[in-house]
Amino acid sequence: MTDIDRISFTDIGARLRAHRIGRRLGPEELALRIGISRAALYRAEKGEITKIETLASISRELKVSLPTLLGVGIEYIPNALAYFERMRQVEDDADQIIGLFSPISYLVTTQRYDAILRDVFAESVPAERQVEAQGILDILLQRKQKFALRRPLLVSVISTTEIESFLRDGLEGRHGLPDELRAQRRGAAAGEVRHIIGLLREPDIGIQLGVSPEPFPSTSFQITRSGGQSVLTVSPFRLGHNPNIAVGVGFVTSAPEAVELHDGIARMLWERSLRGAAAADHLEDLITQAGGADASD
């Protein structure tokens, strides 16, 4: 099957919407810029595309190539807002999610993490990007809610090195926070690790976690499977401690070679990872080394 054979008009509409959101354009504004009605743009975002000229006009206005909107080859995403919206779309009907995200998969974080992440973004993101930051938080919460509702199989590998840094530094948006607040943020990080320990000791249905001592890739990635299709999303963006939602280019692809190579990395790390009680004991030791009682929630 060729790339052209795999083109889905519904997926084209989803990509269009993600890139519009990433450019922080409302549907009315984009429709006005390209000279179509708002209703026509809504139909396009649902995949009801009747004219290639319309799609070409949209691609020029959004500064994204036609191949990217069509999903031919690799879809490059130049900002975090559009990237996380594409992740949400890809996960929408997922059967399985395999993730290597630093320091832990957002999908298994607690509600408290969401509240603190809001504060972290307020500390680290310039005032002119706060609207974008809020948009990312809203999309992240939608992802978590959909995951809790559908419960696809999640396989997540966690890095020992990343957890050590997480416990040592806590959830901070910038350097120079007051000592009391820094202690609270380290406590919040320890709380998230204890939550993972609980999932390791009493596994939740459909959630498989491993703790790996191996070096991790410098970029996070996720493989999402739905039906017979696998989609790879690779992210340069970072949540949590000293987050990065400003610089980087993520990408999305279903290219078999890219999916297979990243799947091989995930399988290798999974096979060498600690699981169950052994992984939980290891994380308990890391909390103790990081300060034990001082790192409490």
Please say if the pLDDT value at position 71 is more than 70: yes
Q: Which of 88, 133, 117 is nearest to 233 (CA)?
A: 88
* 207-212: strand order across its sheet: 74-77, 250-253, 229-235, 220-226, 96-100, 153-159, 207-212
Beta carbons of 259 and 232 less than 8 angstroms apart: yes
Q: What is the pLDDT of residue 179?
A: 92
Q: Which residues pair with 155 in a beta bridge?
A: 98, 208
pLDDT in tens, 160-179: 999 999 999 898 888 888 99
Q: Which tokens hold the place of 179? A: 């000592």
Q: What is the pLDDT of residue 215?
A: 81
Q: Where are the domains of the chain?
A: 1-72, 74-294
Fold of 1-72: 434 Repressor (Amino-terminal Domain) (1.10.260)
Q: What is the pLDDT of residue 271?
A: 95
pLDDT in tens, 99-141: 998 888 999 999 999 999 999 999 998 999 999 999 999 999 9
Please say if the pLDDT value at position 73 is more than 90: no
pLDDT in tens, 216-270: 888 899 999 998 899 999 999 988 878 889 899 999 999 889 999 999 999 999 9
What is the C-alpha separation between 18 and 7, in angstroms, rounded? 17
Please say if the pLDDT value at position 296 is more than 70: no
What CATH number should be reported for the domain whose range is 74-294? 3.30.870.10
